[in-house]
Amino acid sequence: MYKGIVFFDYDGTLVDESAKIYRPTEMTLKTTEQLRENGYLIMLATGRAKCYVPDTGIKFDGVIASNGAYAELNGDIIYNNTVKYEYVKELVDRADELKYTYVLENQDLCYTNGFHNKHFMDTLKFFDINERNFRPVEEIDRLRANKMFLTYESDDVFDAVSREFRGKFVLGKHRTNMSCDCDPVGNTKGCGITKIIEFAGVPAENTYAIGDGINDLDMMKNVSHGIAMGSHAKALENVCGYITGTVSDEGITNAMKHYRLI
């Protein structure tokens, strides 16, 4: 039914907050529509929870959210993995002592202890995240999450949290902000991508992924063609087959032309 699949990271790929590009460019919109017309599934693959991805103007066929813990295609939930309750509780209980703020990511609504923390609120503004998708953690009936998102005000805090939760969580630093993804060990974008590829039944050789961050490493490992944006984490160079331009340079369109998908 489908010729192939293209997986798109969000932050640093479809948009670039550092360059104040908060929505996909007009050329990117045209490129994704042309991909669809050419028979490719268009998938968002983001570290964000589904609820705080802004309207991009792109007609995605599905989404992989929370770094692969959640995946849906054409409105059907294909995969929905949650963190062990005791791990979530420990992370919540240690927040004041270790001095971090957290978000418990669920796909319809997220919960946080950060509403009174200036750095956390500034982080939401930096990433153009609307706070209406977040509620105080006291309002959740039972601690649960697909993934966590942390902010902190020094690398010492990041290092302390990494040591404290070694073996339970993997912390992936964001390249442009004092914040990080906090994933249970084993959770990566590759998990959701594998489920989608199997469900859609597309030829493995016709799978593509484009991204910029360390959380895109396993995404690229699980497709045949990995593409790194012009500004990217160095580790991606070990797994990608092509390095394109930045968002400002219309990197997505150039990459799709390179592979002759458009």
Q: Are residues 119 and 176 in the same domain?
A: yes
Residue 93 sits in a domain whose CATH number is 3.30.1240.10
Could you give the number of structural domains in the chain? 2
Say if residue 92 is in the same domain as residue 126.
Answer: yes
Shared domain for 10 and 73, answered yes or no, is yes
Whether residues 12 and 75 share a domain: the answer is yes
Q: What is the pLDDT of residue 206?
A: 97
Question: 254 and 139 share a domain?
Answer: no
CATH number of the domain within which 243 lies:
3.40.50.1000
Digit-coded pLDDT (tens) for 238-250: 999 999 999 999 9
Is residue 100 helix, strand or coil?
coil
- pLDDT beyond 90 at 175: no
Residues 74 and 196 in one domain: yes
Nearest to 252, CA basis, from 8, 56, 61, 22:
8
pLDDT grade, residue 1 (50/70/90)?
A: confident
Residue 176's pLDDT band (cuts 50, 70, 90):
confident
Residue 199: pLDDT over 90: yes
**Amino acid making up residue 139:** E
Domain that residue 96 falls in: 85-184
One domain, residues 193 and 72: yes
* Terminal CA-CA length for the chain: 18
**Which residue type sits at 124?**
L
Specify whether 104 is located in the same domain as 179. Answer: yes
Report how far Cα 2 is from the mean position of its chain's Cα atoms.
24
| 178 shares its domain with 105 | yes
User: Which of 184, 209, 237 is a domain's end point?
Assistant: 184
Structure tokens at 198: 């199997």
- When pLDDT is averaged across residues 153-180 and rounded to a whole number, the result is 94
Distance, in Å, from the CA atom of 20 to the CA atom of 70, rounded to the nearest integer, reads 28
> Distance of CA 44 to CAs 86, 133, 215, 228, Å?
30, 19, 14, 15
Q: Which of 184, 208, 225 is the last residue of a domain?
A: 184
Domain boundary among 184, 209, 230: 184
226, two tokens: 């990995």
Domain match, 100 and 220 both: no
Same domain, 174 and 215: no
Average pLDDT over residues 231-240: 96
Q: Are residues 221 and 97 located together in one domain of the fold? A: no
